Structure 1
Amino acid sequence: MATATAGLSDLPDDILRRILYFAPAKEAASTAILSRRWRSLWRTSGAVNLDSRSYAHFHAREFIKKTQAFAGDMPAALAAAEGPVIRKLTLHVEQIIYETNLAINSSSMLTSLLSSPAAAAGTEELRFVIADDDDGFHSRRHGRYGNMAELHFGDLPSESLRVLHVFNCSTLIAPPSPPAAVLFLPRLAELRLRRCGVRLADLRRIVEAAPQLATLHLECYHYTPMAACGIVGNDDGSEIGEEVVPSCYRIQCPAVTTLVFEACGDWPWKEGGLELDVPRLQYFRYKGLIHLQNRLSLKLPASSSNVIRTDLHFVHSDYGDEQVQVRFWEFIQSFNATKVMKLKLDMDFNNDHVAMAEKGELFCSNRLFYNLERLELEVPCEPATACKTCALFIANLLRCCPVLRDLHLKLITRPPRTNQTGIQARSDFDKSIDHFRNCRKRRKIVLNGEEDETYDEVSDIPGLSDHSFDCLKSYLRIVSLQFWMEEPNCFGVQLAKFFAENAMVLQEISIDDGNHKMREHVNHMLKRWVPAGSSKRKNLLTTASFRESRPRKRQRKD
């Protein structure tokens, strides 16, 4: 401990001050015991971080005393800060299932903090977090134990605020519409709302009041009843009735470069759709029910070359919409100029998705993802028959990615769970591998589940092996294959063979099959798969070869 303290003390004041910038107020104040020098550094760091977890020593039944102690220490923490202004202010409140007193009073606490002269004068970063007993972000009790916290944007230090993070606040109340010449949030560059309730009309008012907004992060956004916000009419002055369905809300985002729209699954139908005008968008992430993506549309320039990375995660829905497949392809077609794409399909994967795209000629003439250099694709591939559909989908994507250089495929053929039965099954499988390697005769498992006697042969993949692709001729250099195998089959080996034979400039193939040692099947076949006269043969055999990714620990998901 003495050595570590001495090492920190040797750091320059600026670095120590930056470290203390992130420390909770109570812990930061206690550093004076270790060093008088640290006391002055903390006071001049420009940050006050108030965290109720620093009061965990109170017994659960003493939640009133805990609230009083936490609220009573706030003025002292503000007074301890030296300097004319507080640049960063954090209020982190734990909402335990059996003590909601802190969360109920959190809104008034924040209002009191923001009314202090030091905070009102120049706070640039504000973080208001209400975390429940399940860490605040993954709780499944949200519907049962909602909090009553509110955030009035009229109370914020609007002139100086640059960063605003609000987590788990039930109601956000937008500022009144200012005169045309007045900007309410002129410097706000980053807005993160996680598990917050806000109407789309209020969201539009907030975003349009921040012309410099570059990062807009909406996660687990949910609907707030209009009555809860004190709203008695629509934006156009018309009365609100239960049967009134507002039209699509359009929000101008002239400076937004990063947009996240994630897990907003309870978007109410009566709120209408949302269109975001994002001419400067560079990064976009979407996660949600596949039938809800048609409620969100992005208005991009005709040549959306600014979009560098796109992460799309579509979740299965039982909603019976025959047009889901059409909307799916129309949605991803909006990002045809992206350079990096991560596409995850958490849903039933069948021929309809592929057939719908082929019917619309989206995959013709390499015109879908003409600029894509890196693709990460995660799709379910449960039964042996689904491998055919998966292979066809991969083939279609390769066809419309003519300059693809880096391809990562993750095929989910079993749930990522680890239990004692699974461990024993893998042990038995490893033993069978040893026996398998010592046998000259080997069996192959073809895509339709039928077995055949052969000698070290791996069959081609129908729908994939009989096509040529532009990216394989001169661009594709790195291929990563990852599998969760419910029942061992040779689809992964077939894919490895396909890329080894057809990717002319291939430098590396990475295989992670859940510790099933697929590499031991593949390595000895490498010389036969790579053509003798190919320029890549030397690189693969002497430089990269086939490597097996380090087995990953699998966490059990509830």
Structure 2
Amino acid sequence: METRSAKRKKPCQNPPPADLDDEDRVSDLPDDILHHVISFLPIKSAAQTSVLSRRWRDLWYSFPDLDFTTAYSPPHIDSACRDAERRVRLHVARCAGYADQILSLLEKHSDVRVLRFRASLTFSRLSALIRHAVKHNVQELDIEVSTCDYFNFPRSVIWSSTLRSLRLKSCHPGFRLPPLEIMKDGFRSLSVLSLSRLILCDQPHLTNLFTDSSFPLLKKLHLEACFDLKHLRIESPALEDLSLENCYQLQDLEIRVQKLKKLRVRSCFDAYSVSSRVEIVAPDLQIMFWSYNAVTEECILHDLTHLQEALVGFYLLPEDLSVSKIRSVWNFLSGILNCHSLTLESQCIEILSKHNQFVGLSLRSFNKLKYLELATAFNKHNNSGLASIFRCSPTIHTITIMIIRDRSAQQQEWNKDLWQSTSSGEERHWESQAQSLSSFLHHLKVVKIHGFTECANDVSLVKFLLKHGKVLQQVFLSASLSKGRDSLLREKIKSQILGFSRASSNANIVFQ
């Protein structure tokens, strides 16, 4: 029998596991990993981690990415509002303490890599913030600011040797750049630049800012809502990504960049200008978005041999269907013939449908085009434009049609019983195109139609494609959500479509 003392001395057979709660394994992680974890938190939550321990306090003061956009957003101020200036001044006063807090944090943090903030500030406080950011060797500076008046671009960032990315957006009312002789010798290390609400009144020379001698390392450039920007020349040698938006006064755009890979131009050009022009030389361009831009009088596109994807949309006043602008549209489409994927916005088909009245215009073939997407107010007046695009797409694989309904237009509904003995005008039109579209019909495999209805135009096109599509595999018909449609009539027409003659035994029709 064991004594009581022997029991005390006997070693434990199954010692209890160590209390893992006493061990802080997270704090033992390297600084760069913990900085990455903290970066997913809002700035206030990230700052609160500093109270956990001395280790976490040091982590916070060495945190390189200061994003204050989650702490405050400037109010939306309508410049047309009567008391807009008073409201801006009120918010500027309220944000004075906010700016001082940012300045205090910049002094405490050892190495700031990224600084982002939004605020309503005076120009003096804005300049102070930027000077402190440059002092701490900031690499990425992202500023969205409202002020009481137009302000001048802060010169302290021009000579920074560490700045790699700069985004400056004025919510209200805008800002001006320094003279060209100051700007052109700065930003020697900048690779990303975004400027919004730039005022160029009485500074026409700044439109030649992005030339060979300026921004030698600039790879990405974004300009938005630049007032009085009428002429712009881009020749930055390292530029790969260029974006222009809402530059409504633009009249002349010249781009000569050998390394440019992506171009996005949206809602630009003066629709009332009589001398508008665009010229693009970009042999390495791969992606091009040209959306809702006014048609220029002259268009020249050179050497876009590497183009993979293009989106094209124009804004053309109804009374401005001149020969020069129609020819400009033709020149633009001829310049993107090498693309593999093409999207045409709604007014393109309307423009193409009206070209027959002009002599000497013929669209060349998109011999590399495999994927085509187009939007159109689908009616018989646009059939010639559709046929023209189909005819110029001899090796197409997939076509997607987004039908935009014009409520004011009268659509004739499909009625098989009425047209058994005689074909409709839409059917006769498409049948007359069968020979000229033979290559298109011998390559087309997938058709997707969104906004499909029981209108004669829609059904006639589907019937034509099924009848002549030699290798057609899939036809997806996504019905319009228009109200008041007779469900019995819709189901009847669906069954009629399923009974249409098919040139391809593999053709499958799917109603969505």
In the superposition, the TM-score normalised over structure 1's length comes to: 0.65
Amino acid at match of 1:215: K
Aligned counterparts of 1:379 and 1:10: Cα–Cα separation in 2: 60
Once the two structures are TM-superposed, the CA of residue 283 in structure 1 deviates from its matched residue by 2.7
Q: Give the match's secondary structure for 1:511.
A: strand
Q: Match for 1:162 among 161, 164, 183?
A: 164
Aligned counterparts of 1:157 and 1:22: Cα–Cα separation in 2: 31
Determine whether 1:201 maps to 2:205: yes
Once the two structures are TM-superposed, the CA of residue 176 in structure 1 deviates from its matched residue by 4.1
Q: Match for 1:376 among 365, 369, 373?
A: 373
Amino acid at match of 1:466: S
Aligned counterparts of 2:179 and 2:438: Cα–Cα separation in 1: 53
Once the two structures are overlaid, the 10-residue window that deviates more, 338-347 or 9-18, is 9-18
Amino acid at match of 1:286: V
Q: Following superposition of structure 1 onto structure 2, how do residues 177-196 of structure 1 map, counting pairs within 5 Å? A: 177=181, 184-196=186-198
Q: Give the match's secondary structure for 1:505.
A: coil
1:404-431 residue CA offsets vs partner (Å, 9 max, x unmatched)? 223222221147xxxxxxxxxxxxxxxx
Change in 2 beyond 3 A, CA 1:126/1:55: closer
Aligned counterparts of 1:164 and 1:482: Cα–Cα separation in 2: 41
Aligned counterparts of 1:278 and 1:162: Cα–Cα separation in 2: 20
Determine whether 1:501 maps to 2:467: yes
Once the two structures are overlaid, the 10-residue window that deviates more, 400-409 or 17-26, is 17-26
Q: Match for 1:73 among 79, 83, 101?
A: 101
Aligned counterparts of 2:498 and 2:452: Cα–Cα separation in 1: 23
Q: Match for 1:396 among 388, 392, 417?
A: 388
Amino acid at match of 1:202: L
Q: Following superposition of structure 1 onto structure 2, how do residues 514-553 of structure 1 map, counting pairs within 5 Å? A: 514-515=480-481, 521-522=493-494, 525-531=497-503, 534=504, 537-538=505-506, 540-541=507-508, 545-548=509-512
Aligned counterparts of 1:11 and 1:507: Cα–Cα separation in 2: 55
Aligned counterparts of 1:207 and 1:40: Cα–Cα separation in 2: 44
| Cross-structure match for 2:267 | 288
Amino acid at match of 1:444: W
| Cross-structure match for 1:109 | 125
Once the two structures are TM-superposed, the CA of residue 275 in structure 1 deviates from its matched residue by 1.0
Aligned counterparts of 1:296 and 1:20: Cα–Cα separation in 2: 46
* Contact 2:223–2:244 under 8 Å retained in 1: yes
Determine whether 1:483 maps to 2:498: no
Change in 2 beyond 3 A, CA 1:18/1:206: farther
Once the two structures are TM-superposed, the CA of residue 23 in structure 1 deviates from its matched residue by 5.4
Aligned counterparts of 1:414 and 1:34: Cα–Cα separation in 2: 62
Q: Match for 1:472 among 440, 443, 447?
A: 440
Aligned counterparts of 2:424 and 2:510: Cα–Cα separation in 1: 16
Aligned counterparts of 1:63 and 1:113: Cα–Cα separation in 2: 17
* Contact 1:284–1:309 under 8 Å retained in 2: no
In the superposition, the TM-score normalised over structure 2's length comes to: 0.70
Change in 2 beyond 3 A, CA 1:152/1:64: closer
Aligned counterparts of 2:477 and 2:502: Cα–Cα separation in 1: 17
* Contact 2:42–2:70 under 8 Å retained in 1: no
Q: Following superposition of structure 1 onto structure 2, how do residues 377-456 of structure 1 map, counting pairs within 5 Å? A: 377-381=374-378, 387-414=379-406, 444=414, 452=418, 454=420
Aligned counterparts of 1:281 and 1:76: Cα–Cα separation in 2: 41
* Contact 2:35–2:63 under 8 Å retained in 1: yes
Once the two structures are TM-superposed, the CA of residue 489 in structure 1 deviates from its matched residue by 1.9
Aligned counterparts of 2:426 and 2:380: Cα–Cα separation in 1: 11
Change in 2 beyond 3 A, CA 1:36/1:205: same
Q: Give the match's secondary structure for 1:546.
A: strand
Aligned counterparts of 1:300 and 1:34: Cα–Cα separation in 2: 54
1:312-360 residue CA offsets vs partner (Å, 9 max, x unmatched)? 232243674623222222233222222222221458936764326x733
Q: Give the match's secondary structure for 1:274.
A: strand
Determine whether 1:212 maps to 2:176: no
Aligned counterparts of 1:546 and 1:37: Cα–Cα separation in 2: 62
* Contact 2:232–2:254 under 8 Å retained in 1: yes
Q: Please list every run of 5 or more consecutive structure 2 residues that lacks an aligned counterpart in the other structure.
A: 1-25, 76-86, 284-301
Aligned counterparts of 1:300 and 1:547: Cα–Cα separation in 2: 42
Aligned counterparts of 1:403 and 1:80: Cα–Cα separation in 2: 63
Once the two structures are TM-superposed, the CA of residue 217 in structure 1 deviates from its matched residue by 2.5
Once the two structures are TM-superposed, the CA of residue 513 in structure 1 deviates from its matched residue by 3.3
Aligned counterparts of 1:19 and 1:43: Cα–Cα separation in 2: 15
**Which one has a bigger Cα radius of gyration?**
2
* Contact 2:143–2:169 under 8 Å retained in 1: yes
Q: Please list every run of 5 or more consecutive structure 1 residues that lacks an aligned counterpart in the other structure.
A: 1-7, 94-101, 133-145, 225-245, 382-386, 416-441, 549-558
CA RMSD of aligned residues (A): 4.3
Once the two structures are TM-superposed, the CA of residue 396 in structure 1 deviates from its matched residue by 0.8
| Cross-structure match for 1:492 | 458
Amino acid at match of 1:336: L
Aligned counterparts of 2:100 and 2:168: Cα–Cα separation in 1: 23
Q: Give the match's secondary structure for 2:238.
A: coil
Amino acid at match of 1:275: E
- How many residues of Structure 1 are paired with residues of Structure 2 in the alignment? 437
* Contact 1:395–1:463 under 8 Å retained in 2: no
Amino acid at match of 2:465: F
1:85-105 residue CA offsets vs partner (Å, 9 max, x unmatched)? x22121212xxxxxxxx25x1
Once the two structures are TM-superposed, the CA of residue 395 in structure 1 deviates from its matched residue by 1.1
Q: Give the match's secondary structure for 2:336.
A: coil
Once the two structures are TM-superposed, the CA of residue 75 in structure 1 deviates from its matched residue by 1.6
| Cross-structure match for 2:113 | 87
Once the two structures are TM-superposed, the CA of residue 128 in structure 1 deviates from its matched residue by 1.8
Change in 2 beyond 3 A, CA 1:443/1:315: closer
Determine whether 1:47 maps to 2:65: yes
| Cross-structure match for 1:28 | 46
Q: Give the match's secondary structure for 1:528.
A: coil
Amino acid at match of 2:167: H
| Cross-structure match for 1:278 | 257
Aligned counterparts of 2:55 and 2:354: Cα–Cα separation in 1: 64
Aligned counterparts of 1:508 and 1:196: Cα–Cα separation in 2: 49
Aligned counterparts of 1:457 and 1:318: Cα–Cα separation in 2: 33
* Contact 1:377–1:408 under 8 Å retained in 2: yes
| Cross-structure match for 1:297 | 279
* Contact 2:210–2:236 under 8 Å retained in 1: no
Q: Give the match's secondary structure for 2:362.
A: coil
Report percent identity of matched pairs.
21
* Contact 1:287–1:312 under 8 Å retained in 2: no
